[in-house]
Structure 1
Amino acid sequence: MRQNAARRTALLDGAIEVLAREGSRGLTLRAVDTEAEVPKGTTTNYFANRAELLAQVMTRIQQRLTPDATQLADTMSEKPSAELVATLLKQLHARMRADRSSWLALMELRLEATRRPELHTELTRFFAAQLDGNIAFHLDAGLPGDRITVVLLYLAMLGLIVDDLTVPELLASFPVDDLIDAMAQRMLPAQG
């Protein structure tokens, strides 16, 4: 397999765009070649098969959606509070809007995993690691709430993100920032 890191990243980014635009059925190695604007057969030189490509797409999506370390450090300089949690959730939402393709690709992978046991196992591992990381970050930062609170926030944000991606008109009369503020205030214990 080829090792040109920049080319591999371009192919993975191409795969994300194909998944977001055409769904998992449209994701072929040839479609990735076309999206990445590389010669036919290039994707085959980097990935042994579609399953390997999908596994690496998850890692690339994680890289694309990871918050900027400097911005996160600036945000975390604030005192732990429900307001800080709301700020973090708003930043998550902003990242979703800035990289809509990655979120749509993740949704496509979730759907594909319902039909492919090997992908289901890999995706479950991926999301479990993400959730465990979010819980650890929250607790280690001294933010209000416990493990269950973080899971509830995760589930609420997932619903908000799915609706924003798929039927944004549904929540058009509810400003997202106001919803996130209310979610944090209502779900997090008062600091005292």
Structure 2
Amino acid sequence: MRQNPARRAALIDAAIEVLADQGARGLTFRAVDTRAAVPPGTASNYFANRDDLLTQAGGRVYERLTPDPSAITDLMHGPRDRAMVGRLMHELVGRITEFRSGYLALLELRLEATRRPELRAVLTEQIKADLKANIDFHHESGMPGDTTTVVLLYLALNWLIVERLTLPDVFPEDEIADLITATVERIVP
């Protein structure tokens, strides 16, 4: 297997775009090579098989969805109250929907994980770790609410993001901010 980390990352990013555009069935080495604008056969030199590519794409989506620490630091000025949680949730929804192809790829990967135990294990561990990090951050920063508060926000806002990215006409764009605010107001004590 080839070891050029920049090329590997570019191929994985191309795989994410293919997943978002064509779904898991469209994810082939040839499609990834074409999307990455590399010579045919390049992806097969970097990944043992399609499962390897899917698994690495699953990890990379989360890597790219991780917020810039400075953006979070900027939002953390002031009292640790419901309004601060609201600002963080607005940032979260905005950041995730800006990486539309990443979230759509993640949805494809989740569906594919129902048939691929190795991918399911990778996504399960990644999502559990992400949720735990969010819960720990919430507690350590002194935000109002408990673990259930964070889990409920996670569940509610994830589905809002799914609706926004897959069926954008269900909730008009000008209602999204109000829905995020209402979710926070009803869940966070």
Q: Are residue 75 (structure 1) and residue 89 (structure 2) matched?
A: no
Instruction: Tell me the equivalent position of 1:84.
Output: 84
The TM-score, its normalising length taken from structure 1, stands at: 0.94
Instruction: Tell me the equivalent position of 1:146.
Output: 146
2: CA distance, partners of 1:8 / 1:121:
22
Instruction: Tell me the equivalent position of 1:181.
Output: 181
1: CA distance, partners of 2:46 / 2:81:
46
Unaligned runs of 5+ in 2: none
Instruction: Tell me the equivalent position of 1:26.
Output: 26
The TM-score, its normalising length taken from structure 2, stands at: 0.95
Q: Secondary structure at the match of 2:170?
A: helix
Alignment of 1:21-170 (within 5 A): 21-170=21-170
- 2:40 partner amino acid: K
2: CA distance, partners of 1:133 / 1:173:
29
1: CA distance, partners of 2:66 / 2:173:
29
- 1:170 partner amino acid: V
- 1:74 partner amino acid: D
- 2:49 partner amino acid: N
Q: Secondary structure at the match of 1:168?
A: coil
1: CA distance, partners of 2:25 / 2:154:
28
1: CA distance, partners of 2:185 / 2:133:
23
Offset of residue 173 of structure 1: 7.3
Q: Quick check: 2:58–2:119 contact (8 Å CA) kept in 1?
A: no
2: CA distance, partners of 1:59 / 1:81:
32
String of CA shifts for 1:85-111, please: whole Å, max 9, x gaps.
111111111112211000000000111
- 2:164 partner amino acid: D
Identity %: 53
2: CA distance, partners of 1:78 / 1:48:
49
Offset of residue 77 of structure 1: 2.3
Instruction: Tell me the equivalent position of 2:8.
Output: 8
Offset of residue 122 of structure 1: 2.1
Q: Secondary structure at the match of 1:175?
A: helix
Offset of residue 174 of structure 1: 6.1
String of CA shifts for 1:24-75, please: whole Å, max 9, x gaps.
0000111111100001111111111111112211221112111112111111
Q: Following superposition, which runs of at least 4 residues in structure 1 exceed 3 angstroms of deviation?
A: none
1: CA distance, partners of 2:147 / 2:52:
33
Q: Secondary structure at the match of 1:170?
A: coil
Unaligned runs of 5+ in 1: none
Count of residues in Structure 1 that have an aligned counterpart in Structure 2: 189
Taking structure 1 as reference, are residues 95 and 114 closer, same or farther at Cα in structure 2, changes over 3 Å only?
A: same
2: CA distance, partners of 1:80 / 1:174:
27
